Every structure is written in C-alpha cells, then in structure tokens.
Amino acid sequence: MADSAQKTNAFKWQPNVKLLAFSLLMLPLLLGLGAWQLERGEEKQQIVDHHARNQQLPPVITPEILVSGKDHQYRLAWIRGTIDNQRVIILDNKVKNGRPGYEILQPLILSGLTEKLLINRGWVEASLDRDILPSIPPIEDGVQLRGYLYQTLKGGYRLDDGIDQVQDWPSRVGWITTDRAKVLYGESFLPYQLRLDQDSPGALKTGWTTVAVQPEKHVGYAVQWFAMAITLLIMTIIANSNVVSWLRKTHQ
C-alpha cells in the first residue's frame, strides 16, 4: 500500500507533443530577442558615452583639423565659410513631434580647403502637397556657424530615391551621407556634417537626439522578453506534467 501511495504521489512527466513543439520553437526565440535587446542597449550606451566624452573637448575652430582622420564625432565646432545657398538638399521622411518634414543641408566652402563641409540646418515642416518644396531662407556669407560634428552611423533605414545625379536644385533625396554628398555634388567633402545648434545663424528647428531609444529602455525590453521566456517555461512544465498536484501532495 505504501509503495502504491508513493507511486501515486510521484512526479510524472506527461508530455503533450504539440505543446512541447510550440515551446521548443518559442523559447529560443524569446531568449534571442532578450539577448538582442541587451546588445542594442550596449550599443546605445556606447553612443551616449561617446557623445558625452567628445562634448567635453574644446570646440573645433579651424576646419583643417577635420582632415586629420581623428575622432571628432559629436564634437562642438565653430566654423566660418561661404555657404552655397543655391544647391540645397532636402532630406525626406524626417518626422518631428509626429509631423512629417524635411532636414535641410547645404555645402559650406572653406577657405584654404578643397573639401567642403556639409551643413545640416535642421528640420522644416512638409506641405501636404508633395509637389511643393519648402522655401528656405539663405544664410549670409562670413557668419560663424555653430553646432556639432556628426558622421552618419552604420545601419538604419534608407529610403531608396533612385537619384544618381542631381539635375535640378533644390533636390529632395531619401538619404544622405558625406560620401553620397560627393556623388550628388560631384565635389569633395570632409567626412563630417555640421549639425547646427538652435542659436546658430541659419539654424531651423534642431533639437538633435543622440539616440532614438535610451539604453535603459532596451534593458527594460530585454527583461520583458526574458520574463515571457520564464513564464513560457513554467507553463510548459505545468501543461506537460502533474507538477501542481505533486507539489500539493508533497506539502500536505
């Protein structure tokens, strides 16, 4: 009788093939998504730290320093030159506060350098009529532009605009880097663009963000994915065994 009672109270694995297959499929996926969010959080933290570190450096005043090949990402800069007000790039698909718009970029001619510097003046709202491009006020020559240096980060979404060579200015494009600026303008450019501060001459609406999603949010998302994985594991054990009744009997 005692042996029979022990067998009745024993833990039993009662597998449900379909539920096990579902769990074996979903569990690695949930764990992988959690690990991916942790990696994204680490990448974003490196960007935030990079930004904070280079913001502490003295401002770049002479543009010749940008030819050195050193790391000037996110560094403050005060630059004078002659702005090209005729050949304007209108960067498409830039949403700000839920409203569609554009970023406005123009080349700056620098004294003593063959390379030009791409200036990003900031955001303007788009017309509901896609055929109407925004009217951009010119920048006076010789003013001191202030902002921080920026190289486009790897990855991200690029809108294919099918433009190989600009025929008419201003030109609306889907994406821009300094390398692509060389193609669109047919001229040499320094490896950074200058994103203007809000108080700089020629600035439109700026409010640049270092990262779209803060690192701690990615960690929070990772915790959610891992929590779902743990929940799935517990539910799988419950659905495929007598663990609930076994625990009850062992604690009586």
Q: What is the DSSP string of the chain?
A: -HHHHHHHHS--B---HHHHHHHHHHHHHHHHHHHHHHHHHHHHHHHHHHHHHHHTSPPB-SGGGGGG----TT-EEEEE-EE-SSS-EEEEEEEETTEEEEEEEEEEE-TT-SSEEEEEEEEEEPPSSTT-PPP-----TT-EEEEEEE-PPSSS-------SS--SSSEEES---HHHHHHHHTS-EEEEEEEE-TTSTT--B----S-SS-HHHHHHHHHHHHHHHHHHHHHHHHHTB-HHHHHHHHT-
Q: What is the pTM of this model?
A: 0.78
Q: Where are the domains of the chain?
A: 14-56+213-247, 75-196
Arithmetic mean of pLDDT, 104-110: 94
Query: Does 195 have pLDDT greater than 80?
Result: yes
CB 105 within 8 A of CB 178: no
Query: Does 131 have pLDDT greater than 90?
Result: no
Query: Does 2 have pLDDT greater than 60?
Result: no
Neighbours of 242 (CB within 10 A): 17
Q: What is the mean pLDDT of the chain?
A: 86
**pLDDT (tens digit per residue) in 197-248:** 999 999 999 988 877 778 899 999 999 999 999 999 888 888 877 766 766 7
Query: Does 121 have pLDDT greater than 60?
Result: yes
**pLDDT (tens digit per residue) in 48-98:** 998 889 888 888 888 878 877 788 889 999 999 999 999 999 999 888 888
Measure the CA–CA gap between 204 and 124, rounded to whole angstroms.
7
